[in-house]
Amino acid sequence: MIAHLQGTVAGLAPDGAVIEVGGVGIRVQCTPGTLATLRPGEHARVATALVVREDSLTLYGFASDDERNVFELLQTATGIGPRLALAMLAVHAPDALRRAVATEDLGALIMVPGIGKKGAQRIVLELRDRLGPPADGRAGGDGPPGQPRRVPSWRDQVQSGLVNLGWTARDADQAIAALEEDGTVSVGNGEAVDVATALRAALRKLSRQ
């Protein structure tokens, strides 16, 4: 198993990065949060998990070993594959997922695109004893008592991804606003926004400018 990569960031894309190790460019799929920590041309270390399928070998990259470990544990739940596990970590930090499972916070879990109420209930049932407690030992939120932990919105994640790919914050905000204005992204139907899809759509708009 490839536990981590350490090398130079050779390139970034909306859903992953290429890290050059010993003259070989290795592609890893990452969450927007992990991509935000990487800069082209700079040295980086990412924890990794290799997913083997009959027709593919896919390497997933993470900002920390803990994030990688949670990614692997999530896949032990029924119906959770690598893509959905990655989506869960794109929306929630590892400790936020631990809290959601420990406190049976279904609302937090269904914020993830692809997870409905029944899926969230199954995740709580199957992972309650596997994920363990949050690192700080608290089952509540990160902020003061009575205040829920703020989860980065899809707008925050898309803006971070665009800025990391070289666009200015102003350009990123304009592209995000355009997605909402033309209906490419619908935020009024109560459904969670797929961050990767929104990021690709924003890139298409920016490339036409």
This prediction has a pTM of 0.68
Q: Do domains 4-62 and 154-207 have the same CATH topology?
A: no
**Is the predicted pLDDT of residue 89 greater than 70, yes or no?**
yes
CATH match for 154-207 among 1.10.760, 1.25.40, 3.90.1420, 1.10.8:
1.10.8
Show me where the domains of the chain are located. Answer: 4-62, 65-127, 154-207
Whether 139 has a pLDDT exceeding 70, the answer reads no
Q: Which class would CATH give 65-127?
A: mainly alpha
Question: What is the percentage of the chain residues whose pLDDT exceeds 90?
Answer: 39
CATH topology of domain 4-62: OB fold (Dihydrolipoamide Acetyltransferase, E2P) (2.40.50)
Q: Are the CB atoms for 23 and 209 separated by under 8 Å?
A: no
- Residue 167 sits at φ, ψ, to 5 deg, of -85, 155
Query: Phi and psi of 113, rounded to 5°?
Result: -55, 130
| 119: three-class secondary structure by DSSP | helix
SS3 content of the chain, % helix, strand, coil (to 5): 40, 20, 40
pLDDT digits (tens, 9 = 90+) for 35-87: 888 889 999 999 999 999 888 899 999 999 999 999 999 999 999 999 899 98
pLDDT of residue 81: 92
